[in-house]
Structure 1
Amino acid sequence: MQDRKRRKIEREFGVPIAGEILDPQHWTQTALKKLPLDGTLNTQELFGRNAPLIVDVGCGNGRFILGSSVWRESFDHLGADILPVVIRYATRRGNQRGLKNVRFLVTDGLNFVEKLLPKGSVTELHCYHPQPYHAPEKSLERLLTPRFMAAVHRVLVPDGQIFLQTDSKAYWDYMKSTSSHFFNFSERIGCWPDAPRGRTRREILAIKRGMTIYRGSGIKLNNLLEDDLQKLESNLPMPLFTTESFLHKLDYEENLTRQRE
């Protein structure tokens, strides 16, 4: 009787990353290295089919979007992050799992949503733990602005969904207030049902420290017209809040663990 081949499961902080590491002959190529110089991405050409699209803005090392790709094979996925180093981790993991329904690219969140995604093409948009930028002089670099929310609204299909998460109460209060103008948004109490130990690396670290995680989702308000979106962009406040000082230590720890990955 032959020995059963042992599955190669990767773990991070003791929490498994979805999917099995396959033998090299089954690996795929999940890096999207050439971005369009003009115009949006053609997802039908990328994936060779027309399927609902899930995107992860600021995907980090890919933990969430990899899990979604493994468990929701009928959906296509795009993960983007501004840091090339974390996209290298994500693409390596996608390749090793032989995934055909995910691509990773290096770009900033606003450019990804505003310039690269076709309007009305996204079924779900996820944004977990966007960089809070603690220094006051960097507050205007925060991603979740009225402009970003309007751009998300444009790329979502009718009744498309946005998913947000942070461990900053100040950022969460701003997220809820701003997003409610664009989406039927509600806070989720408790963990996501598919990932009770955390959907993302940052969430796992924060849970281990006993920190509060703020989670929520919203459905696109389909009655908003382009004129409405432009007015909201102009009139809603920018994210000029002050972040909590205790988050600085967790940011430092996360950067250290990323360097060791």
Structure 2
Amino acid sequence: MQLKSGSKVLDLKFAQVMGILNVTPDSFSDAGKFKNLDIALKRALEMLAQGASIIDVGGESTRPGAPDVSLDEELARVLPIIEKIKQNSDCWISIDTSKAQVMREAVHAGASILNDVRALQGEGALQAAAQLNVPVCLMHMQGAPRSMQSDPRYANLYSDVKDFLEQRIEACLQIGIKKEQIILDLGFGFGKTMDHNFALLSATHKFVALGYPLLTGISRKSMFGQLLNRQLSDRLAGSLAGALIAVQQGSKIIRVHDVGATVDIIKVLNKVNSFNK
């Protein structure tokens, strides 16, 4: 299994790590730490040195209750750092956005993956993705960031998430996005209770069976804070356990804050698996 974007190829035979770079003042984990361009670039290069294959750049927080960000503000946050990373590395760069114009300008600046928490449902997003011809990540979210955690409920968790993703896959295929360019994300923490999140983690293999690479983003999330009674700064062990479970079940991209530790657990798992062939 591979991802392709122009001449770039990402081998998904083994799970890859996506490092999170939020250039926002209000992200849930590292709010404001990487607003400065030089500091943001240093962080991106650190994550690459630790083994990340992809840097995921985000300019609008999608934490519960997060306010909307204007188009101009989001562009001003993400374009300079994408250009800087591109100047210093040939790595894969992902743009975490739901706005069609941000997608277009970010790809022109050097991004090679579209990572959209709204699964290309925003105005013009589906058309932009088709025209840009780069891999896209479709995430499940119940509701919207401001209200998604108010009282999430499902008739059948697995079927509801699966049906949504299959509908978005079909929309992509109909407009000309190729099957091999589609990545799926179950949307941990996006309109889901703690039990919803852990139930989806346990069912990761069922979604892998749909035949698309799965991206799992559970780093430092409240599901671990609630289960383990841990504050945000003390959720590494829970995050690593979740990442290991996801990879064991077939997830191909793990989106994290703690790159080095996550790369280490994947290396250990790969070594063990090498004796089971």
Does the TM-score normalized on the shorter chain lie above 0.5? no
TM range (shorter): 0.3 to 0.5
- Could you state the TM-score of these two structures normalised by the residue count of structure 2? 0.33
Q: Which has the higher helix share?
A: 2
- Could you state the TM-score of these two structures normalised by the residue count of structure 1? 0.34
**Is the radius of gyration larger for structure 1 or structure 2?**
1
